[in-house]
Chains A and B, each alone.
Chain A
């Protein structure tokens, strides 16, 4: 199966980001292909590299970055949602006059079209949210 996963919620606040991650890993272990993981609404907060979660708990952001690297997964943060919530890469910082960037490794910021394309090109779209 070629899968697109949509994550609507941020790390820790809701279980969605965790469930999405465990689902993604299980799918990869079974040999399925993840076309894209698209983060929308507060889901874009999965892509900030500035989190410092407690040492004795899972590091959600790092976990995503590691998964993306290990399996070459395209993880996209919606640009409009990211702008609203202050998730910024180099391009966005320059365009919008911000003095810092905070995107975590393995994530890229792009448009909503990437989600639609995921729906068009994949065999299944699965949405994790609240």
Chain B
């Protein structure tokens, strides 16, 4: 039974990414959306929170913020809204860390 965790806030703004990343269980997946995509930038201090986690980031939100994919931390998959829907289907439930 795996959970999809959504984080939509920058880790430099709120604690949501910290909370999500420290409560996730093995097998869970994390999707960064909206301002949450800033957490995926490898040069940022928060990138360390993602180590060992299965992380996805919403491509349209990256593009909107001018973040090129080469700026992302390793092993992060960029998906679109269709991919977002697939992730929801693939997991048993969704937890939005607002």
Do chains A and B make direct contact within the complex (CB under 8 angstroms)? yes
Judge if B82 is at the interface, Cβ distance under 8 Å: yes
Binding stretch for chain B, among A23-31, A63-71, A73-81: A23-31
- Bin the interface of chain B by size: 10 to 19
Judge if B96 is at the interface, Cβ distance under 8 Å: yes
Interface size on A, residues (CB 8 A): 21
Judge if A86 is at the interface, Cβ distance under 8 Å: no
Considering the chains assembled together, what is the distance between the CA atoms of A3 and B94 in angstroms?
11
Considering the chains assembled together, what is the distance between the CA atoms of A59 and B9 in angstroms?
24
Residues on A with C-beta less than 8 A from B93 are 124-125
Judge if A130 is at the interface, Cβ distance under 8 Å: yes
Residues on A with C-beta less than 8 A from B82 are 26, 29-30
How many whole Å from A128's CB to the nearest CB in chain B?
7
How many whole Å from B11's CB to the nearest CB in chain A?
16
Residues on A with C-beta less than 8 A from B60 are 22
Judge if A46 is at the interface, Cβ distance under 8 Å: no
Tell me whether A127 and B98 are in contact (CB under 8 A): yes
Tell me whether B88 and A15 are in contact (CB under 8 A): no
B positions within 8 Å CB-CB of A: 6, 8-9, 33-35, 60, 80-82, 84-86, 88-89, 93-94, 96, 98
